[in-house]
Chain A
Amino acid sequence: MLFTRECKKIFRSLTFIIYCAMVILMFFTQFWPELDERVTSSTIESYELTKISGEPETIMPKALDSLTGCYFSNTYRCYPYGLLKAVHLNSRDNDKIKGYIIEISGLNDDEMEKLKAASSFSHVRIGTNELESYNVNHVPLREDITYGRFREIMGEIDDILGGGSDYRPDDLAYKFSQEPMSHAEIIEQYDDFIEKDHIAAAYGRLLSDYLGIVLAVIPVFAAAALVTADKRAKMDELVYSRRISSFRLIFTRFSALVLTMALPVLLCASITAAKIMHMYKGDAPDIAGAFTVPGIWLLPNIMLVTALGMCISELFSAGMAILVQFAAWFICMMMTSSPLYGHIGRYTFVCRHNSLFYRSEFMEHYSDFLFNRIFYTAAALAAVLLTVIVYELKRGGRFNGLVLFGKDSIFRRKA
């Protein structure tokens, strides 16, 4: 059968071997340490779980402290395109911010200076970035300021900063009202972990979170390599001349790629399941979750990256596919904003949930999550169909791929 032959071809390719190595490496360096320790009702305390209260009494003073600190160092963290951009204002705009701080706090210039002198200075780490920051605490808050007016001011500040700042009114609650969970809430988390997630589903989510990062880009290499293998071996015409329909050939290759690339993921899930069985003997884990969650979560990743890889390779070249998808991955990575759990939107491609807990937050967005995964599966199938069309055109001699530069460039081609 053609399918098994395609699989065999993939198994033998160096790109696939490197792919496996990468998945396994990711698994053992990132995920495996999470399985070191058994989560019990007492060890769960060490996970420092937090919650978002959303109460103005918490938000306002914290936001004000943060804003004042940023004002002192004139460094504001913004994510205008999802990428972190440290904004430094000119003195006029910075003075405007000062005006707002004075309006909220009721301090005068002298008191501000004193406050600055009393504040400690340090580097704050956000993701892979480090920014300088003044640690300002307990800036007084005027009693008569309402939360409505406060939000308004924050909105204006966000505009001055060019958008995407910490002070965006809708983000205030999440950014400034996180607080540690109470003991009762932590126990509730533990109960969810044991009773609703049956342990394995929680680990399944975490596994998907880690593997999802690499699976959002590395399948492109194997896909691009398989698509261009015919050309490399100078046998594209030979394949063109066979009886098989373009539809069947492309779909066979696509499914062979997806299946083979799902195997190492399955292996990781199996290892996880075995370890859970061993570690949580008394808690009756339901290991199905260690397979179903990564299945739903990661298959669309592999499918879309593979399909796009095939499509772009067929349209342009393998190099172009790698370039485009690496750039896309980079942007996805930069756009992932904290918190790394519970915030899976309808169109975020790299879904994150970097915790064993917070099941209820995850379930809150569960329908979005499902929509998201179905959407990307459909997108993958659409990309495969496009590949079929491109392949069929090339096969009949009606189209020879797009060349962007050089003699045969589409920019130079006439008529």
Chain B
Amino acid sequence: MNSMIEIRNVNKFYGRKQALYDINLTIEKGMFGLLGRNGAGKTTLMKTLAALHQKKDGDITVCGIPIERAGEIRAMTGYLPQDFSMYPSMKTYEALEYLGALSGMKSATLRERVTDILHKVNLTEQRSKKVAQLSGGMKRRLGIAQALIHDPQVLIVDEPTAGLDPEERIRFRNLLCELAEDRIVILSTHIVGDIEATCEQIAIMDEGKILWQGTVNQLISNACGHVYTANVERKFMPQLKKNYIVTGMITQAEYATVRIVSDEEPDLPNAVLTEPDLEAAYMYCLHISGCDVKGDEN
């Protein structure tokens, strides 16, 4: 059996509105990042992969099994929705046992598995706390625990780091990386930092289309020669934002050091070509694909 997700020419409509346009992707074992702005279609694609949405046409196979066989797909997929929540009156371990039972696990193995998984996501102490009493980070970790409880081959996590503090976020990323060693983990996010720290393979989505697919290094090298830094007076900032894509800014008194993405060398006195970071590379990618990513508001 192959351990790959293959998506071929997939289209999806909500009523008359098209949500996914001709998606083609191959996802292999390891971490796969789906990067895109809010409303880019990431969640739609993920739900379609979790057999929660119907596609209109095209083919999807998960580890060789067509997505239409929803029962089998669900058996090998763990899904963490964007806004994960659970019956608030259940205790943490009860919630896991309940969802484990829904995943068809036997009672005998379930007990043990719950203990293991709670340890893995560092919730052992919260075992007997009610779900309603967990903090945001703990709830997220419970979310990942429930998606893992039946040891799925594919893990789909939708914007898992939204609303987490930096410490929690780092811990969470590390956990995902660990998990990706022996399975496919698909992570969607609009936060570039999450991808940078975890994923090798990424795809960038916008308005229901895949703009780009490849490795992080490829993306960065694509942007080489298009990222500049410059020192400008702060009063020129509005003007600057109108003309260029500004991906970073450090202000010092009257001056600001800005990072600019541009097709050609910007017309600024002290602009210097620099190594692109992932964020700038992402912006460049959006830019060359024709997306409006300038910072000005009009």
Q: Is there any pair of Cβ atoms, one from A and one from B, under 8 angstroms apart in the complex?
A: yes
Q: Are B85 and A249 touching (Cβ within 8 A)?
A: no
Q: Are B85 and A243 touching (Cβ within 8 A)?
A: no
Q: Is A5 an interface residue (CB 8 A)?
A: yes
Contact with A along B50-62 (1 / 0, CB 8 A): 1111100000000
Chain A residues with CB under 8 A of B51: 241, 396
State the Cβ distance, B122 to closest chain A Cβ, in Å: 21
Chain A residues with CB under 8 A of B47: 237, 397
Q: Is A233 an interface residue (CB 8 A)?
A: yes
**Contact A243-B103, Cβ < 8 Å, known A396-B54, A397-B52, A397-B53:** yes
Bound state CA distance, A370 and B293, in angstroms?
A: 73
* Closest chain A residue, CB of each to CB of B70: A396
* Closest chain A residue, CB of each to CB of B143: A238
Q: Are A233 and B98 touching (Cβ within 8 A)?
A: no
Chain B residues with CB under 8 A of A245: 71
Chain B residues with CB under 8 A of A263: none
A5, A9, A396 interface centre (most CB from chain B within 10 Å): A5
**Contact A243-B81, Cβ < 8 Å, known A229-B87, A249-B102:** no
Q: Are A235 and B85 touching (Cβ within 8 A)?
A: yes
Q: Are A398 and B54 touching (Cβ within 8 A)?
A: yes
Bound state CA distance, A113 and B37, in angstroms?
A: 91
Bound state CA distance, A231 and B75, in angstroms?
A: 22
Bound state CA distance, A66 and B235, in angstroms?
A: 101
Q: Is A404 an interface residue (CB 8 A)?
A: no
Find B54's partner among A1, A234, A244, A397 (CB 8 Å cutoff).
A397
Q: Is B84 an interface residue (CB 8 A)?
A: yes
Number of interface residues of A (CB under 8 A): 24
Q: Are B83 and A234 touching (Cβ within 8 A)?
A: yes
Bound state CA distance, A221 and B87, in angstroms?
A: 18
A229, A242, A397, A398 interface centre (most CB from chain B within 10 Å): A242
Number of interface residues of B (CB under 8 A): 33
Q: Are B97 and A5 touching (Cβ within 8 A)?
A: yes
State the Cβ distance, B65 to closest chain A Cβ, in Å: 13
Chain A residues with CB under 8 A of B50: 241
**Contact A237-B102, Cβ < 8 Å, known A243-B74, A397-B47, A397-B53:** no
State the Cβ distance, A10 to closest chain B Cβ, in Å: 12
Q: Is A160 an interface residue (CB 8 A)?
A: no
Bound state CA distance, A415 and B83, in angstroms?
A: 31
State the Cβ distance, B166 to closest chain A Cβ, in Å: 26
Within residues 122 to 158 of chain A, which ones have a CB less than 8 A from any CB in chain B? none
Within residues 393 to 415 of chain A, which ones have a CB less than 8 A from any CB in chain B? 395-398, 415
Q: Is the interface of B mostly helix, strand, loop or mixed?
A: loop
Q: Is B104 an interface residue (CB 8 A)?
A: yes
**Contact A235-B102, Cβ < 8 Å, known A241-B50, A243-B75, A396-B54:** no
Q: Is B101 an interface residue (CB 8 A)?
A: yes
Q: Is A32 an interface residue (CB 8 A)?
A: no
Q: Is A240 an interface residue (CB 8 A)?
A: yes
**Contact A238-B71, Cβ < 8 Å, known A12-B89, A244-B102, A244-B103:** no
Q: Is B99 an interface residue (CB 8 A)?
A: yes
Q: Are B52 and A234 touching (Cβ within 8 A)?
A: no
Q: Is A239 an interface residue (CB 8 A)?
A: yes
Chain B residues with CB under 8 A of A9: 87, 90, 98
Q: Is B284 an interface residue (CB 8 A)?
A: no
Chain A residues with CB under 8 A of B81: 237-238, 241
* Closest chain A residue, CB of each to CB of B78: A241
**Contact A240-B52, Cβ < 8 Å, known A233-B86, A235-B86, A245-B71:** yes
Q: Are A241 and B104 touching (Cβ within 8 A)?
A: no
Chain B residues with CB under 8 A of A398: 54
Q: Is B150 an interface residue (CB 8 A)?
A: yes
Within residues 216 to 238 of chain A, which ones have a CB less than 8 A from any CB in chain B? 229, 233-235, 237-238
Bound state CA distance, A261 and B99, in angstroms?
A: 24
Bound state CA distance, A9 and B87, in angstroms?
A: 10
State the Cβ distance, B209 to closest chain A Cβ, in Å: 21
* Closest chain A residue, CB of each to CB of B74: A243
* Closest chain A residue, CB of each to CB of B90: A9
Q: Are B79 and A241 touching (Cβ within 8 A)?
A: yes
State the Cβ distance, B92 to closest chain A Cβ, in Å: 14
Contact with A along B99-129 (1 / 0, CB 8 A): 1011110010000000000000000000000
Chain B residues with CB under 8 A of A238: 79, 81, 84, 86, 99, 146
Within residues 1 to 27 of chain A, which ones have a CB less than 8 A from any CB in chain B? 1-2, 5, 9, 12
**What is the interface of chain B, defined by CB distance below 8 A to chain A?**
16, 47, 50-54, 70-71, 74-75, 77, 79, 81, 83-90, 94, 97-99, 101-104, 107, 146, 150
Beyond known contacts A9-B98, A396-B51: 8 more, CB 8 A cutoff: A5-B97, A233-B87, A238-B81, A239-B102, A240-B52, A243-B102, A396-B53, A397-B47
**What is the interface of chain A, defined by CB distance below 8 A to chain B?**
1-2, 5, 9, 12, 229, 233-235, 237-245, 249, 395-398, 415
Q: What are some 28 contacts across the A-B interface (CB < 8 A)?
A: A2-B101, A5-B94, A5-B98, A12-B89, A229-B87, A233-B85, A234-B85, A235-B86, A237-B79, A238-B79, A238-B84, A241-B77, A241-B79, A242-B99, A242-B103, A242-B104, A243-B75, A243-B102, A243-B150, A244-B101, A244-B102, A245-B71, A395-B52, A396-B51, A396-B53, A396-B54, A397-B52, A398-B54
The 4 closest A-B pairs by CB, nearest first: A397-B53, A242-B102, A243-B75, A241-B79
